Structure 1
Amino acid sequence: MSAVFAINLLQSYFTELIFDEAYYWHYAQKMAWGYFDHPPMVAFLIRLSSYFFDGELGVRFMSCLLSVGTLVLLWLMIDNPKKRDYVPHFFILTFSMTLLNAYGFFTLPDTPLLFFTALFLWIYKKFIANATVLSAIFLGIVMAALMYSKYHAVLVIFFVLLSNLALLKNKYAWLAVIIALLCYIPHFLWLYENDFVSIKYHLFERPNGAYDFNKYTLGFFVNLVAIFGFTFPWIYKALYKTKSSSLFTKALLYLTYGVILFFFISSFNRRVQTQWIIVISIPLAIIVFNYMLENTNTRKWIYRMGIINCVVLLFLRIGLIYEPLFPIFYETHGNKQWTEEIRAEAGDIPIVFENSYRNAPMYAFYSGNPTYSLNNIYYRRNQYSIDSSEYQVQHKKIMYVSKSAKSGDASFTRMNGTVYHGKFIENFESFRKLRCFLTEEEPLSLDLKKVINFKVFNPYGTDIPLEKIKFGLAYLNDHKQVKDVLSVDAIPTNENILTLKSNDTTNFTFTLPKPNMKNPGYFRIGISENGLNYGLNGENIKLK
């Protein structure tokens, strides 16, 4: 365990951040009970890490601790007395699991998800052996910690419950549920106060594409192989051969098969990302190691193939630090370089990145200067849409950095070949928090003559002159992809209105412009301020 911890610490120290880590670091700069994309556990871990170290290790230290804790818990859940004779086999098995290995040092929502899944199963094992008030309290707290890690955690809890429906009659199980719900109240309140923004995004707003067997369903099966590498045939053989010999083993099997089945069905609707199924690594580590202890041939082959996995993974981990060794350009390469190039041109003024919740926090992390992601109608909402970052750049001289611009005051080229142009703006002003709401019943028909009513809420502390804003409308296809953006002549219902009053609502009317695309599935209202691209000010409205 000490060796694994030391390797992960060194990796954390010498490896530049990946973009998602920088984004979650941005979360941690202002602690809250929730964030746009995820619950707050990942931000909490980063904040804790920052108390011990600076730099990259100040983002990843707690992940190094949790990864060792995950291995300890897995070891404790294996009861077979032979296990001490095969300690190297245990480490080869777990270290060779690709994403379990990667999340040993990267700080992502899946890092605490893996740890708390292992802790949940360990406590559950004790709970079904001897349910007490104390074990119920611990179980409830850990269930809440799971849900604070990632919303996918609901699958872990659900499939373990499904494996033992007798829990529905167990008073201690209900006590655990009550404790979990009480612990989760702060996040429920955050969701309510923020108009359930996370739920809306994940369930209703995310763009998708038309079903593609190769990208979706076949890609799902490729992911099932990728998370175990060369050991995958023997991993799934052990799963297939293992029977429900106890309530705990049954829970492991239900959890594994349940997650696989859930995302297999999901693959007919959207592309399943590899990390979404990573949680099966926890029950499978226990199932497979127990099977290895009783089956010589499987033990031999997993050990052999696991060593190959480990060698490949160690080589790639070195490549994360030393770019020439990595087979492709990766996002841990060159971030200090491109951020320094921008800083050399811009100095210490704030940087506003167009449509990049990835570049904005990465630049802020390595430069120490304020940043903001100005999201427009071609992009998606994110944490910068709901936090106070916009206020840090208002009425200041900034550099506006975009990869869609054709020219600027300065140009920057990333190591992956992407060219960005930056231009100076002396007095930057944006109103991305303006919100548009339709007062019509949905869905609407594509009637180009019908007058549609909507209202605009101004949450800012000052009035906004109407001369500073323009309205636009995006038509989206059935998969919520923007295909057409047109200007809209929105008229105040009261002709005497010249401003959007602070913390007040103003009513407007408009007619739908004729789309250039055929059969749009949705439309969305946007507002352009001071000549900027239209923002994400309205919801996706269904057209029938």
Structure 2
Amino acid sequence: MAEPLPTRAPSLVTLSLVLLALSAGVRLALALGTDVYFDEAYYWQWGRHLAGGYYDHPPLVAWLIAALGIRATALLCGAVTVAAVWGFARDVYGHREAAWRAAALWSMVPAGILAGIWATPDTPLLLCWVLALWALYREWWVLAGLACGLALLSKYPGVLLAAAFVATCVRARRLPAGAWLTALLGVFLFLPVVLWNARHDWVGFTFQLKHGLGGTGGWRTFGEFLVGQLALGGVVLVPLTLVYVFRGPREQFLLRAAALAPLLLFGYAAARTRGEANWPAAAYLSACVGIAGMRPGWFRAAALANLAVVLAVGSHLLFPVLHFQRDVLLARTHGWEVLSRVGEPSRLFPGLRHEDVAVAYAPSYQFASEVAYYARLPVDTAGGARFSQYDLWPRPTVAPGQEALWVSENHREPPEELVARFSSVEGPVVLPAEFRGRPVHTFTVWLLRDAKP
């Protein structure tokens, strides 16, 4: 199955270099050519309130955004992840040809590209995952402990690294003594998340268990999971990942287990609830390393199939040609910058100054975060919004006589709970948002005047 010395290596290396260059160009173009995605704005808000944990996820993405900025975090982590895949594959196979294949293949995985453009918890998780896997493979116990701990600080599924390593130890009937040092370092780095949860009634752990395993699902949600994997993993790469998991080299059992664990867990979760396609993205890291040692034709097929998807989606996000009745991709990545006008309320409501607005309310944590990022106003959620980190932060104070704004989309009116707290309501002012002549959003802004005592 594995291929010690690749055939026609020069042509494969050339193809790999071309794929890496194309991937870098796509990432940079999308990072510069799209607005801040609402999840990014939410994590940017976290970065303004640094803590040891948050309701939805551990804190590492917020710490990085606070230090580096949103897109710099994604681009830097994405680039280093590709480099780490190269180094890991070079170590596994002992030659650079396979390393170039692995790096090029990973650079074309849609899930990896997304994490390398838009800063989400997957962004640091994928980097720490491959570093931890590399260190565990080589038995570099201190580095493994640091990388595993940082993976847990990125996203809770980082614990699956431990599951893959334990499975490898059971199979080999050997538990190296240094592994205890790795476990100790990993737990120590994860302590801030545990302590934060302990101070907040374990809301983060509880939310993730309910979000991932609660609810009702079935064949429909599991089918959606499979379609999502083909979209974010690749129509060729996903089947090859399964081939590698069950038929790969015995000496690469750790890598195969690290690919199987996320697919198993989130496949099971998908049968119970509607999940998100990016959840098992880390599975494809070790899969790319493994597939790099398989037949050259399989590498070409997987890489070129994903290249077609990346170029098609990337070109649509920058220069759309096709028309869709509900273009979710364009709506999520464009048009949000118009909300900066909310930060200049005198342009919307004559005589109203920025300092007169105590808070801007929005119907969801995502929407509130976009308003916070572009308008630079204090924000809060209202109107039946899903519980989020905003519910754990102190509510913005609205003194008697102060004004507030309600910002929504598609003419959604302010909820009664807000209207009852103010003397009058004005609006709405409509803020249409377009991208290259296409309507992507219709925002509405309402003025809530004279807060009651």
TM-score by length of 1: 0.67
Aligned-residue RMSD, C-alpha: 3.0
Please say if residues 70 and 115 of structure 1, whose CA atoms lie closer than 8 Å, have aligned partners that are also in contact. Answer: yes
Q: Which residue of 1 aligns with 2:309?
A: 312
Question: Is it true that 1:410 corresponds to 2:449 in the alignment?
Answer: no
Please say if residues 37 and 198 of structure 1, whose CA atoms lie closer than 8 Å, have aligned partners that are also in contact. Answer: yes
Supply the distance in 2 between the matched residues of 1:206 and 1:73 (Cα, whole angstroms).
Answer: 29
Change (3 A) 1:398 1:275: same
Please say if residues 105 and 302 of structure 2, whose CA atoms lie closer than 8 Å, have aligned partners that are also in contact. Answer: no
Supply the distance in 2 between the matched residues of 1:61 and 1:46 (Cα, whole angstroms).
Answer: 8
SS state at 2:293 partner: helix
Q: Deviations over 1:440-460 (max 9, x none)?
A: xxxxxxxxxxxxxxxxxxxxx
- Larger of the two Rg values belongs to structure: 1
Supply the distance in 1 between the matched residues of 2:189 and 2:111 (Cα, whole angstroms).
Answer: 29
Q: Which residue of 2 aligns with 1:20?
A: 39
**AA aligned opposite 1:263:** F
Supply the distance in 2 between the matched residues of 1:358 and 1:326 (Cα, whole angstroms).
Answer: 25
Q: Which residue of 2 aligns with 1:175?
A: 181
Q: Deviations over 1:35-73 (max 9, x none)?
A: 111110010111121xxxxxxxx3111221211211122
Q: State how many pairs are aligned.
A: 402
Show the 5 A alignment for 1:134-153.
135-153=140-158
Normalized per residue, the structure richer in helix is: 2
Please say if residues 93 and 293 of structure 2, whose CA atoms lie closer than 8 Å, have aligned partners that are also in contact. Answer: no
- Note the C-alpha offset of 1:31: 1.0
Please say if residues 60 and 107 of structure 1, whose CA atoms lie closer than 8 Å, have aligned partners that are also in contact. Answer: yes
- Note the C-alpha offset of 1:268: 2.2
- Note the C-alpha offset of 1:90: 4.0
Q: Which residue of 1 aligns with 2:419?
A: none
Q: Deviations over 1:338-386 (max 9, x none)?
A: 4426743255224432431111111121122222223x5x332101111
Give the stretch that moved more between structures: 150-159 or 304-313: 304-313
Supply the distance in 1 between the matched residues of 2:212 and 2:280 (Cα, whole angstroms).
Answer: 19
Please say if residues 161 and 167 of structure 1, whose CA atoms lie closer than 8 Å, have aligned partners that are also in contact. Answer: no
Q: Which residue of 2 aligns with 1:423?
A: 447
- Note the C-alpha offset of 1:258: 2.3
Change (3 A) 1:168 1:174: farther
Q: Which residue of 2 aligns with 1:190?
A: 196
Supply the distance in 1 between the matched residues of 2:441 and 2:238 (Cα, whole angstroms).
Answer: 38
Uncovered stretches (5+) of structure 2, i.e. residues with no partner = 1-16, 415-424, 434-438
- Note the C-alpha offset of 1:317: 2.2
Please say if residues 36 and 382 of structure 1, whose CA atoms lie closer than 8 Å, have aligned partners that are also in contact. Answer: yes
Q: Which residue of 2 aligns with 1:120?
A: 132
Supply the distance in 2 between the matched residues of 1:206 and 1:182 (Cα, whole angstroms).
Answer: 25
Q: Deviations over 1:210-259 (max 9, x none)?
A: 43422x1111221232223342366246425633421xx11111122222
Q: Could you tell me which of 281, 288, 304 is aligned with 2:291?
A: 288
**AA aligned opposite 2:152:** M
Please say if residues 227 and 274 of structure 1, whose CA atoms lie closer than 8 Å, have aligned partners that are also in contact. Answer: yes
Supply the distance in 2 between the matched residues of 1:324 and 1:342 (Cα, whole angstroms).
Answer: 32
Q: Which residue of 1 aligns with 2:167?
A: 162
Please say if residues 136 and 175 of structure 1, whose CA atoms lie closer than 8 Å, have aligned partners that are also in contact. Answer: yes
Please say if residues 381 and 390 of structure 2, whose CA atoms lie closer than 8 Å, have aligned partners that are also in contact. Answer: yes
Q: Could you tell me which of 267, 271, 276 is aligned with 1:273?
A: 276
Supply the distance in 1 between the matched residues of 2:138 and 2:99 (Cα, whole angstroms).
Answer: 23
Supply the distance in 2 between the matched residues of 1:350 and 1:197 (Cα, whole angstroms).
Answer: 29
Supply the distance in 1 between the matched residues of 2:92 and 2:51 (Cα, whole angstroms).
Answer: 43
Please say if residues 217 and 268 of structure 1, whose CA atoms lie closer than 8 Å, have aligned partners that are also in contact. Answer: yes
Supply the distance in 2 between the matched residues of 1:40 and 1:255 (Cα, whole angstroms).
Answer: 23
Change (3 A) 1:202 1:316: same
Show the 5 A alignment for 1:61-100.
61-78=72-89, 79=91, 83-85=95-97, 89-100=101-112
Supply the distance in 2 between the matched residues of 1:239 and 1:161 (Cα, whole angstroms).
Answer: 19
Show the 5 A alignment for 1:307-386.
307-322=304-319, 328=327, 329-340=330-341, 343=344, 344-345=347-348, 348=354, 349-374=357-382, 376=383, 378-386=384-392
Please say if residues 319 and 326 of structure 1, whose CA atoms lie closer than 8 Å, have aligned partners that are also in contact. Answer: no
Uncovered stretches (5+) of structure 1, i.e. residues with no partner = 50-57, 128-134, 430-544
Supply the distance in 2 between the matched residues of 1:200 and 1:178 (Cα, whole angstroms).
Answer: 24
Q: Which residue of 2 aligns with 1:387?
A: 393
Q: Which residue of 1 aligns with 2:232?
A: 227
**AA aligned opposite 2:450:** E
SS state at 1:273 partner: coil
- Note the C-alpha offset of 1:316: 2.3
Q: Could you tell me which of 192, 198, 209 is aligned with 1:203?
A: 209
Please say if residues 60 and 124 of structure 2, whose CA atoms lie closer than 8 Å, have aligned partners that are also in contact. Answer: yes
**AA aligned opposite 1:223:** G
Q: Which residue of 2 aligns with 1:110?
A: 122
- Note the C-alpha offset of 1:7: 5.0
Supply the distance in 2 between the matched residues of 1:40 and 1:198 (Cα, whole angstroms).
Answer: 11
Show the 5 A alignment for 1:402-481.
402=408, 404-405=412-413, 408-412=426-430, 413=432, 415-416=439-440, 420=444, 422-427=446-451
Normalized per residue, the structure richer in strand is: 1
Change (3 A) 1:354 1:85: closer
Q: Could you tell me which of 297, 300, 310 is aligned with 1:300?
A: 297
Q: Select the structure with the greater relative contact order (CA < 8 A; seq sep ≥ 6).
A: 2
Change (3 A) 1:326 1:337: farther
Change (3 A) 1:70 1:15: same
**AA aligned opposite 1:335:** W
- Note the C-alpha offset of 1:22: 0.7
Change (3 A) 1:229 1:350: farther
Please say if residues 261 and 283 of structure 2, whose CA atoms lie closer than 8 Å, have aligned partners that are also in contact. Answer: no
State, as a whole percentage, how many aligned pairs show the same letter: 22
Please say if residues 98 and 293 of structure 2, whose CA atoms lie closer than 8 Å, have aligned partners that are also in contact. Answer: no
- Note the C-alpha offset of 1:97: 1.0
Change (3 A) 1:340 1:421: closer
- Note the C-alpha offset of 1:308: 4.4
Supply the distance in 2 between the matched residues of 1:207 and 1:76 (Cα, whole angstroms).
Answer: 35
SS state at 1:307 partner: helix
Please say if residues 92 and 307 of structure 1, whose CA atoms lie closer than 8 Å, have aligned partners that are also in contact. Answer: no
Supply the distance in 2 between the matched residues of 1:270 and 1:122 (Cα, whole angstroms).
Answer: 33
Supply the distance in 2 between the matched residues of 1:316 and 1:428 (Cα, whole angstroms).
Answer: 49
- Note the C-alpha offset of 1:310: 1.6
Q: Deviations over 1:88-138 (max 9, x none)?
A: 6445422321111221111000111100000001111120xxxxxxx3222
**AA aligned opposite 2:276:** Q
SS state at 2:405 partner: strand
Question: Is it true that 1:36 corresponds to 2:42 in the alignment?
Answer: no
Please say if residues 236 and 305 of structure 2, whose CA atoms lie closer than 8 Å, have aligned partners that are also in contact. Answer: no
**AA aligned opposite 2:225:** F
Change (3 A) 1:28 1:211: same
Please say if residues 400 and 422 of structure 1, whose CA atoms lie closer than 8 Å, have aligned partners that are also in contact. Answer: yes
Q: Could you tell me which of 242, 254, 261 is aligned with 1:258?
A: 261
